[in-house]
Chains A and B, each alone.
Chain A
Amino acid sequence: METMQQVVGRARAAFNSGRSRSLEFRIQQLKALERMVNEREKEILAALKADLHKSGPDACSHEILGVLRDLVLAMEELPSWAAPQPVKKDVLTIRDEAYVRHEPLGVVLIIGAWNYPFVLVMQPLIGAIAAGNAVVVKPSEVSENTARLVAELLPQYLDKDLYTVVTGGVPETTELLTQRFDHILYTGNSSVGRIVMAAAAKHLTPVTLELGGKSPCYIDKDCDLTVACRRITWGKYMNCGQTCIAPDYILCDPSIQSKVVENIKETLKEFYGEDVKSSPDYGRIVNKRHFKRILVLLEGQKIAHGGETDEASCFIAPTILTDVSPESKVMEEEIFGPVLPIVTVKSVEEAIEFINLREKPLALYVFSNNKQLIKRVISETSSGGMTANDVLMHSVVPGLPFGGVGHSGMGAYHGKYSFETFSHRRACLIKDLRMEMVNKVRYPPGSMEMVHL
């Protein structure tokens, strides 16, 4: 059994060998990853089903497709991403070469989360490989089947020394974090985010923290409620609410609250049938600990729909709470479950104020026909990202960076931003050793002409 020091040492030696520098090598590794995802799809889907009760098409759409898409993008764009980028020159440098090089950082660490356990290690991994780094991957031990599978599969397809998977729980991760990395990308909750950043600080290691929070969803009176609720239902109950950018709670006028409930109920029936528990498309809570945590949030609340649970299978029915008090427990922490509280507000001003009193969320949603209102909500709030008139979708736009702000995180990735996150932008200026006349004005004694140039 290797120690963490040995694992990281091996990765560093492999990086120092220089073989991950060539674009051909990186593309070859990405191609191998693509083959892995295609050839072993069945096993990947089986692991996701075992960990989170995800159905085949669900897991395919939400985990596999995104990975394949990022792989194709990286393979196609890498030459242009990695090319030196010339910059605008000034009077003093007009005859020089001035450009920015994207260089690998070295050995990077990716810590995955359990809710989308495959894509949340793979998507960063694609960027890290594309950028030319050696990578240590630490999948979440909570989604144990996927963790085990990733640990088995990666060495079968990728360079074993450059790319390593480390499994284990808190003690193993803590030990891993004592090692020196050149970047750490962590997906998870804010408390552990602090621990990761504190560990990184010891080595001055830059971090990308993809955390969470309570993503608010404001529904304006002036909107197509049927459509809005349909889209919200989709995003809220996907993966049984265990999505970092799920709409966490709803803010709306009291006059539309019951209509919202009715619409969501209708949509739930359409999506999952009369007996949600027997729908193959409805997930389960990942483990007993989280199951119990979410149950506590229901205490004392007005349950307008749902509320049924079954501990043996970690089943919690799609649940809606109405007239929720801002001070209640369900409004304190990120729910990360299929419970949707509705907090009533009298106006968009009140909604904005409500949102701004709280920590900056990872995502923010607003539904309205009124373009001005949407503009206002965007301008007067802050969040990692946002979507108007839908949920989740900003996270799949190829050109948008995906990340948090404040307690919901720092840094961003996806697509090209993954490559940039794992690269160092090195400023390069190449001058001529001749042309010394030009420099004369800058030298002492006291040349004020230089200043007035």
Chain B
Amino acid sequence: NPYAGLVSRLRASWLSEKTRPMEYRMAQLEALGHFLDEKKQDIVEATASDLGRAAFETELSEILLCKNELHETLNNLSRWMKDEHVDRTLAMQLDSAFIRKDPYGVVLIIAPWNYPTSLFLAPLIGAIAAGNCVIIKPSEVSKKMERLVAEALPNYLDKDCFAVVTGGVQETTRLLENKFDYIFFTGIPPVGRIVMAAAAKHLTPVTLELGGKNPCYVSDTCDVTNVARRVAWGRFFNAGQTCVAPDYLLCTLEMQEKLIPALQKAIKDFYGPNPQESPDFGRMVSDKQFQRIRALLGSGRVAIGGQTDEAERYIAPTVLVEVQPSDPIMQEEIFGPVLPIVVVANMNEAIDFINSRERPLAIYAFSSDDKVVNQVLERTSSGGFCGNDTLMHMTLSSLPFGGIGNSGLGMYHGKFSFDTFSHRRGCLKRGMGREPLNGPRYPPYSQQKLGVVRAASRVTRPDACTLL
């Protein structure tokens, strides 16, 4: 077991209680802030190299998001760490009943390649805030970022308590043989299953942030220009490699006819007449991903885009029409800059279509009619939901971020990150006096004693009949 030494070293640090004091956690979090500030340029460049992504997308979606999470955590940590006092029964009024937030111990965070900074850093903030030791496993697919994290991060954090492990599938498999006290995984469902199965051997709790096909329903009553811009933004950000990107569109044939020119205009406004020349449009992270997505272009018919350049791993912002539910592009999460449109007759058909498939990480619905948005919301199930925009529900840290069913289990962001990495321990402190009050609970049992116990623990209802 090549990682046994590392894990036991971190476990020893954990047992030394180093990570418990708030001051320690704040200092480590502040160090993370320094990492973000001092290494920002390196992060931007590494991400540009790995994903062809524009600096401002990295700043917006990763740096800014992480800084916000850091500030929120630093500002609120002392409050989050406090014992939460809770409701007691009448008999316990003199006792102290509270929830204590205990760290789990040694935590493993496995991050993916598409947002290689924020998808390890945001959970890491929560794990540190909650008082854990952490092993970070960045993705080997975003090579430059992997190297940056492995080389630079340990210089900012306490090496006794935080470590970075690099490698691919084999290394991750060996790493997962060890016992962790929590595992946080972001990635695809098949690997999610493998992670959870490995966790089961040690009874390790997990959060799995997975994915799926996020449907985007566009009703006939809407401002087409605005819809097109918001959908295009969400779809083509990071060249489509976003877990909450709108994966496919559902609308009527009439709406499709209006949307195509509107989407075309939005793409031109964003990326110019030749997106390959725009500094703001990204690339596929690897040859494997490029080839996978290129193969999907055969579904339906290209209405916008469709150009590819293998040397650059470039796929143009593309919209496909005449897509059938059985087409290859409708069988897997696209994770690329391709937007298929599936025509439906009406909202009901759209809802049925969504409900016949695995529950996605996000559902989007566009309509200027509130009722339509609410119908889609209430009659479907998904990790999260955004009406009349894309991606934005992910940016509000007071909203939990997580999936359901195949799109994941558990959640994080903001306080939810702290809660995810904490064990909420129910605590009751009693006094040793007033022992006679305990009398009715002891044997020998009797109906009379039972009557006292019953009365003491009864919760009355306003409309209960008390005649008897």
Minimum CB–CB distance from A397 to chain B (whole Å) comes to 5
Within the assembled complex, what's the spacing in Å between the Cα atoms of A72 and B208?
A: 35
Inside 8 A of A206's CB, which chain B residues have their CB? 409-410
Which of B203, B281, B377, B405 has the largest number of chain A CB atoms within 10 A?
Answer: B203
CB-based A-B contact count at 8 angstroms: 306
Nearest residue, chain B, Cβ from A197: B200
Within the assembled complex, what's the spacing in Å between the Cα atoms of A433 and B378?
A: 19
- Residue interface bits A268-302, CB-to-B below 8 A is 1, else 0: 00111100000111100000000000000000000
Within the assembled complex, what's the spacing in Å between the Cα atoms of A58 and B20?
A: 42
- At the interface, is chain A mostly helix, strand, loop or mixed? mixed
A443–B445 touching, CB < 8 Å = no
Inside 8 A of A429's CB, which chain B residues have their CB? 384-387, 389, 392-393, 396, 399
Does A307 lie at the interface of the complex (its beta carbon under 8 Å from any beta carbon of B)? no
Does B79 lie at the interface of the complex (its beta carbon under 8 Å from any beta carbon of A)? no
A390–B233 touching, CB < 8 Å = no
A204–B388 touching, CB < 8 Å = no
Does B289 lie at the interface of the complex (its beta carbon under 8 Å from any beta carbon of A)? no
Does A65 lie at the interface of the complex (its beta carbon under 8 Å from any beta carbon of B)? yes
Which of A234, A384, A434, A446 has the largest number of chain B CB atoms within 10 A?
Answer: A446
User: Given the known A-B contacts A398-B89, A433-B366, are A92 and B395 also in contact in the complex, defined by CB atoms under 8 Å?
Assistant: yes
Does A386 lie at the interface of the complex (its beta carbon under 8 Å from any beta carbon of B)? yes
Inside 8 A of B300's CB, which chain A residues have their CB? none
- Residue interface bits B13-48, CB-to-A below 8 A is 1, else 0: 001010010000000000000000000000000000
Inside 8 A of A55's CB, which chain B residues have their CB? 445
A433–B388 touching, CB < 8 Å = yes
Minimum CB–CB distance from B14 to chain A (whole Å) comes to 10
A92–B392 touching, CB < 8 Å = yes
Nearest residue, chain A, Cβ from B386: A429
Minimum CB–CB distance from A45 to chain B (whole Å) comes to 11
B396–A93 touching, CB < 8 Å = yes
Q: Out of B280, B384, B442, B454, which one reaches A444, CB within 8 Å? A: B280
Within the assembled complex, what's the spacing in Å between the Cα atoms of A378 and B99?
A: 11
B203–A211 touching, CB < 8 Å = yes
B392–A93 touching, CB < 8 Å = yes
Inside 8 A of B102's CB, which chain A residues have their CB? 382, 405
Q: Out of A61, A69, A272, A401, which one reaches B424, CB within 8 Å? A: A401
- Residue interface bits A376-399, CB-to-B below 8 A is 1, else 0: 001110111111111001111111
Minimum CB–CB distance from A303 to chain B (whole Å) comes to 22
A194–B200 touching, CB < 8 Å = yes
Does B205 lie at the interface of the complex (its beta carbon under 8 Å from any beta carbon of A)? yes
Does A160 lie at the interface of the complex (its beta carbon under 8 Å from any beta carbon of B)? no
Nearest residue, chain A, Cβ from B363: A426
The B326-383 residues at the A interface (CB cut-off 8 A) are 366-368, 370, 373, 377, 381-383
Minimum CB–CB distance from A31 to chain B (whole Å) comes to 11
A272–B400 touching, CB < 8 Å = no
B203–A407 touching, CB < 8 Å = yes
The B159-218 residues at the A interface (CB cut-off 8 A) are 181, 189, 192-193, 196-197, 199-201, 203, 205, 208, 210
Within the assembled complex, what's the spacing in Å between the Cα atoms of A382 and B130?
A: 14
The A60-117 residues at the B interface (CB cut-off 8 A) are 60-61, 65, 69, 72-73, 75-76, 87-90, 92-93, 98, 100-101, 103, 105-106
A388–B366 touching, CB < 8 Å = no
Q: Out of B88, B272, B396, B459, which one reaches A445, CB within 8 Å? A: B272
B60–A450 touching, CB < 8 Å = yes
Nearest residue, chain B, Cβ from A237: B443
Inside 8 A of B367's CB, which chain A residues have their CB? 433
Does A406 lie at the interface of the complex (its beta carbon under 8 Å from any beta carbon of B)? yes
Inside 8 A of B400's CB, which chain A residues have their CB? 100, 425, 427
A405–B423 touching, CB < 8 Å = yes
A451–B389 touching, CB < 8 Å = no
- Residue interface bits A429-447, CB-to-B below 8 A is 1, else 0: 1111110100100111111
The A35-77 residues at the B interface (CB cut-off 8 A) are 55-58, 60-61, 65, 69, 72-73, 75-76
Say which one of B107-115, B145-153, B252-260, B427-435 lies at the interface with A: B427-435
A204–B192 touching, CB < 8 Å = yes
Within the assembled complex, what's the spacing in Å between the Cα atoms of A431 and B88?
A: 40
Minimum CB–CB distance from B374 to chain A (whole Å) comes to 8
Minimum CB–CB distance from B269 to chain A (whole Å) comes to 7
For this complex, into which size category does the number of interface residues on chain B fall? 35 or more
A271–B443 touching, CB < 8 Å = yes
Does B97 lie at the interface of the complex (its beta carbon under 8 Å from any beta carbon of A)? yes
Within the assembled complex, what's the spacing in Å between the Cα atoms of A85 and B61?
A: 26
Does B421 lie at the interface of the complex (its beta carbon under 8 Å from any beta carbon of A)? no
A380–B17 touching, CB < 8 Å = yes
B17–A57 touching, CB < 8 Å = no
Does B125 lie at the interface of the complex (its beta carbon under 8 Å from any beta carbon of A)? no
Nearest residue, chain B, Cβ from A384: B425
Within the assembled complex, what's the spacing in Å between the Cα atoms of A245 and B136?
A: 35
Within the assembled complex, what's the spacing in Å between the Cα atoms of A351 and B192?
A: 39
Say which one of A121-129, A151-159, A225-233, A341-349 lies at the interface with B: A225-233
A402–B426 touching, CB < 8 Å = yes
Nearest residue, chain A, Cβ from B271: A444
Does B293 lie at the interface of the complex (its beta carbon under 8 Å from any beta carbon of A)? no
Does A134 lie at the interface of the complex (its beta carbon under 8 Å from any beta carbon of B)? no
Does B295 lie at the interface of the complex (its beta carbon under 8 Å from any beta carbon of A)? no
A451–B59 touching, CB < 8 Å = yes
B459–A72 touching, CB < 8 Å = yes
Minimum CB–CB distance from A388 to chain B (whole Å) comes to 4
User: Given the known A-B contacts A231-B438, A446-B280, are A387 and B200 also in contact in the complex, defined by CB atoms under 8 Å?
Assistant: no
Inside 8 A of A428's CB, which chain B residues have their CB? 377, 384-387, 393, 399
Q: Out of A75, A90, A389, A410, which one reaches B203, CB within 8 Å? A: A410
Within the assembled complex, what's the spacing in Å between the Cα atoms of A101 and B401?
A: 13
Q: Out of A204, A399, A401, which one reaches B210, CB within 8 Å? A: A204
Say which one of B2-10, B221-229, B307-315 lies at the interface with A: B221-229
Does B250 lie at the interface of the complex (its beta carbon under 8 Å from any beta carbon of A)? no
Does A32 lie at the interface of the complex (its beta carbon under 8 Å from any beta carbon of B)? no
User: Given the known A-B contacts A58-B445, A194-B203, A434-B226, are A451 and B64 also in contact in the complex, defined by CB atoms under 8 Å?
Assistant: yes
A sample of 19 inter-chain contacts (CB < 8 A) reads: A87-B399, A89-B396, A106-B405, A197-B203, A198-B201, A202-B193, A206-B409, A224-B432, A234-B438, A234-B442, A367-B432, A382-B105, A386-B426, A389-B429, A390-B430, A397-B88, A399-B87, A425-B411, A430-B388
List residues of chain B with CB under 8 Å of any chain A CB: 15, 17, 20, 54-56, 59-60, 64, 86-89, 92, 97, 99-100, 102, 104-105, 181, 189, 192-193, 196-197, 199-201, 203, 205, 208, 210, 222-223, 225-227, 229-230, 233, 269-272, 278-281, 366-368, 370, 373, 377, 381-389, 392-393, 395-402, 404-406, 408-411, 423-432, 435, 438, 441-447, 449-450, 453-454, 457-459, 461
* 3 pairs of A and B residues whose beta carbons are closest in the complex: A399-B86, A400-B426, A201-B196
